[in-house]
Structure 1
Amino acid sequence: MTVTLRHGDRSQAVALLQKKLNASGAKLRVDADYGDETEKAVRAYQRKVGLVDDGIAGSKTQGALAGKSCANLLGHADLSAAAKRLGVDIAIVLAVNQVESLGNGFASNGKPTLLFERHIMYRQLCSPQHPDDDAKQLKQHADELARLYPNLINSAPGGYAGGTAEHQRLARARMIDDSSALASASWGAFQIMGYHWQLLGYSSVQEFAERMAKSEAEQFEAFVRFIEADPALHKALKNKKWAEFAKRYNGPGYARNLYDTKLERAYLQHAQCQPEALAA
């Protein structure tokens, strides 16, 4: 497991990072101290290979230094384009990406990160999808399926397997009802629920799932669409109303998890390193 390294860290892992950065063209003193110069070197390397320029040496940056491909990873160009599209400075988008993203949109097996929600599957099966659907019959059918497959269909959350095993749960659920199953998972680095597919402008939940499996850029596209689809959320982001944004995106537990505080701190950190943000 890769240990994420950032400004303020002091360790032999930082010294190794500095050596690898020097091998890629940096001119750092190898002192095991992740100070300003090391952060600048990390940002320069990230820009060089097309990764998100956040100054944090996580698994993606360290992987790139070790020779791994960055082809399906989120890039700084994606964030810059989103900033223009949303009408906000790049430091805001960097902060939101840092705090709200899982960090990696794909699991070790190359499949998109996801979490299957059995209570959402139950809700989807109970919800009429066509004008002639009978809600009572749908619920009876969902209840019967819940008795047969409680780990996949249940009125209560839970049953998580975690990691790549979530794909196995999803595969079994798709055999019961493909559309309901795909709609019942949160997808990618930004955990966008599949049932938002129509709101976000996809032609079907199947298209949404296929796009989430292509790249982190596609996952980020869904996240940007999610912000655009909620005017109040978008306004809170533009005005740097971190508590309001966190409440709308993360739910009522945002304060307990300090999402608003984390967003503000991340923004201030990135704003110091982005000239265009300081001018905003």
Structure 2
Amino acid sequence: MLRISDKEFVQLANYIKANYGIYLKKEKQTLVLGRLSNVLTENNFTSFNDYFNYLIADKTGDAIGTLVDKITTNHTFFMREIDHFNFFRDKILPHLVNTSKDKDLRIWSAGCSSGEEPYTIAMIIDEFLGADKKWWDAKVLATDISSKVLDIALKGVYDNEGIATIPPFWKLNYFEKLNNDRSVLVNKIKNEVIYRKFNLMDGVFPFRKKFQVIFCRNVMIYFDNQTKLDLVKKFYDITEPGGYLFIGHSESLNRNETEYKYIMPAVYRKES
């Protein structure tokens, strides 16, 4: 029977935190064992030390991708935390449309998981701009550390149960049925989202222009406080003056530790 020693857990946890920001507390040791046991068995590893050496030696990124997928929860759905999307539609978009000089929307979905969040944003933008959309650069950047969820997002295929919460107008105009169980987004929406693999722990964010809106929701729950503070500072630096940061409702920012101004639950703004 596989076991993970305290030393092996600390070694693995330290590596994950140093490279991916994910903080695994001691009480997660049993969870890590449970979620990774099948991975070790399938690859014929008899110890976590052998598995760790395999992680370090693998140059393809597949091994670490599997590890991250196993220890995080890619749980999301269309219209999740709907008050955020209503605020984006009713307050932010009208302001951006009225003040933009170059008809350029710069929206980033950081930690996009399987695509429900960025596609929701893209549908809101399409509906809001209507016939004028052809004059706008309104593509949404969507990034995640997991190749697995990015592959799902790129396909744009979802169970019909998964799109049950979206407005009927969207189902009619933005989805096509594949069969009785699944539907696929139309290219008009799929093409409006640019997917990239990206590690939020990278020292430098390689973006030429600052973002007007950043969604990073239910990602920082995996980080300790210092990692979160460092990431929020990088977000702030890449946010355009007057721009917004959305985080998850289960997350919060200490107003004494960030330059963002609190607007409403889980919504912050970089003042002009």
Structures share fold, TM-score greater than 0.5: no
TM-score (norm 2): 0.30
TM-score (norm 1): 0.29
Q: Which has the higher strand share?
A: 2
